[in-house]
């Protein structure tokens, strides 16, 4: 439902809607979506469009028939298709559109994160429609978000949106796979995303795009924990958008958490990628979980991976089997090898200095306790 309180909406449109036949951009499904965007703006709601499809839109220009496309060729397809896609969207509207190409690095780096936020705000202030996509022409595996469902959730949190609408090829989340179980029924509302919800999502993927229902649940979790309502609906059905405009729920709505995570902790948990692991003893786990403590060197029993100060790491129990927390370390891996198990007052004795003037390996303000990864 198009809640009257939603003033800023992020709308994600996938490859299967942009170029359903891998033959360039098609109007088949996009006209109703464009009309929905126009209606939202007419109602005074700001819209940010996250549009997949650059590779699918550009593929028909290349004589390549195999299913698996080499990465270099995929980047070339994206370069051609992105231009076609932007031209198509621009022709749909009588107001200006802006191309915003992002990588995971743009969202995980705090300075670039703020720059993205400021640019989006200026575009919206001047009535420009931001059209966001992953920058597939340059993205490496380390820099890729990987799917635009999660990219859209990140954009929703960066821009402080009220709602995220994800267009899918099904009505929403079902009690079972509707293609296999005739008794499967649509779940209209979800108040909490837990393992049971992930189990319902399964591993289904689109034949054209990279995202399945699981990535949409991941996106919904990212968004709802930051106070963003999330709707999954069937983007192939024009009626879906008419229902939204009429205040009805055409799919599954995941309600925003009433007590959203602080912005920095949300960024640590849902945007930063872990570069290594810190294994800790049971006493340290109790202090983190029960007492709200920072992570100190005395509780560390092992250090895994290569990372630097300022990188995100996973904190695990001493056998490495359970994930306890995720946070930003103030020490490098090599420094932690030297001081693990040592009391904080002895850090300077072992290293000859105390990095950042802090005894905490991970400060509580930069740490998120985890139930799962």
| Residue 211, pLDDT above cutoff 70 | no
Q: Which of 371, 51, 348 is nearest to 209 (CA)?
A: 51
Tell me the mean pLDDT in the region 302-320: 91
Beta bridge partner(s), residue 302: 279
Query: 3-class DSSP state for residue 129?
Result: strand
Mean confidence (pLDDT) of the chain = 87
pTM of the model: 0.80
Neighbours of 116 (CB within 10 A): 21
207 has pLDDT over 60: no
Residue 334: pLDDT band by 50, 70, 90 thresholds? very high
- Report the candidate in 296, 368, 370, 282 with the shortest Cα–Cα distance to residue 336: 296
Q: What is the pLDDT of residues 139-183, one digit of tens each?
A: 666 556 778 899 999 999 999 999 999 998 888 999 988 878 888
| pLDDT at residue 81 in the model | 87
pLDDT score of 64 more than 80: no
Q: What is the pLDDT of residues 225-250, one digit of tens each?
A: 999 999 999 999 989 999 999 989 99
pLDDT in tens, 2-40: 677 899 999 999 888 888 776 778 788 899 999 999 999
CA distance 297 to 184: 51
333: pLDDT strictly greater than 70: yes
The pLDDT of residue 34: 95
Distances (CA, A) of 66 to 20, 76, 107, 147: 17, 16, 33, 21
Q: Do 336 and 275 form a contact (C-beta atoms < 8 A)?
A: no
pLDDT surpassing 70 at residue 328: yes
Q: Could you please report the per-residue DSSP string of 136-184?
A: TTT--TTT---SHHHHHHHHHHHTT-SEEEEEESSSS-BSS-TTT-TT-
pLDDT of the residue at 266: 80
Quick one: average pLDDT of 254-278? 85
Three-state DSSP class for 370? coil
Residue 210 has pLDDT above 60, yes or no: no
Pick the residue with more confidence: 205 or 340? 340
pLDDT digits (tens, 9 = 90+) for 95-112: 999 999 998 888 888 888
Under the banding of pLDDT at 50, 70 and 90, the label for residue 340 is very high
């Amino acid at each position: 439902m198009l809640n009257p309180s939603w003033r800023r909406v992020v709308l994600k449109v996938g490859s299967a809607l942009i170029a359903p036949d891998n033959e360039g951009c098609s109007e088949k499904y996009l006209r109703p979506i464009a009309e929905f965007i126009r209606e939202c703006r007419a109602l005074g709601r700001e819209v940010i469009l996250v549009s997949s499809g650059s590779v699918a839109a550009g593929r028909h220009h290349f004589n390549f028939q195999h299913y698996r496309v080499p990465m270099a060729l995929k980047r070339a397809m994206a370069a051609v298709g992105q231009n076609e896609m932007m031209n198509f969207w621009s022709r749909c509207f009588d107001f200006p559109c802006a191309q915003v190409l992002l990588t995971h690095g743009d969202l995980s780096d705090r300075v670039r994160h703020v720059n993205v936020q400021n640019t989006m705000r200026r575009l919206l202030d001047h009535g420009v429609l931001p059209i966001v996509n992953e920058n597939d022409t340059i993205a490496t595996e380390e820099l890729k978000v990987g799917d635009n469902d999660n990219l859209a959730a990140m954009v929703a949190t960066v821009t402080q949106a009220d709602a995220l609408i994800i267009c899918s090829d099904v009505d929403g989340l079902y009690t079972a796979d509707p293609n296999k179980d005739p008794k499967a029924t649509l779940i209209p509302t979800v108040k909490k995303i837990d393992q049971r919800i992930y189990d319902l999502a399964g591993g289904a993927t689109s034949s054209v795009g990279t995202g399945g229902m699981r990535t949409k649940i991941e996106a919904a979790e990212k968004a709802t924990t930051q106070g963003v309502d999330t709707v999954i609906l069937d983007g192939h059905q024009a009626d879906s958008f008419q229902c939204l405009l009429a205040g009805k729920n055409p799919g599954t709505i995941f309600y925003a958490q009433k007590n959203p995570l602080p912005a920095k902790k949300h960024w640590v948990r849902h945007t930063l990628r872990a570069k290594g692991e810190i294994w800790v003893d049971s006493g340290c786990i109790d202090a983190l979980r029960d007492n709200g403590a920072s992570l100190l060197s005395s509780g560390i029993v092992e250090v895994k991976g290569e990372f630097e100060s300022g990188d995100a790491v996973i904190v695990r129990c001493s056998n490495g089997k359970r994930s306890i927390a995720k946070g930003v370390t103030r020490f490098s891996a090599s420094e932690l090898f030297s001081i693990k198990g040592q009391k904080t007052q002895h850090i300077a004795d072992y290293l000859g200095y105390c990095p950042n003037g802090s005894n905490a390996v991970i400060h509580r303000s930069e740490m998120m306790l985890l139930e799962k990864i």
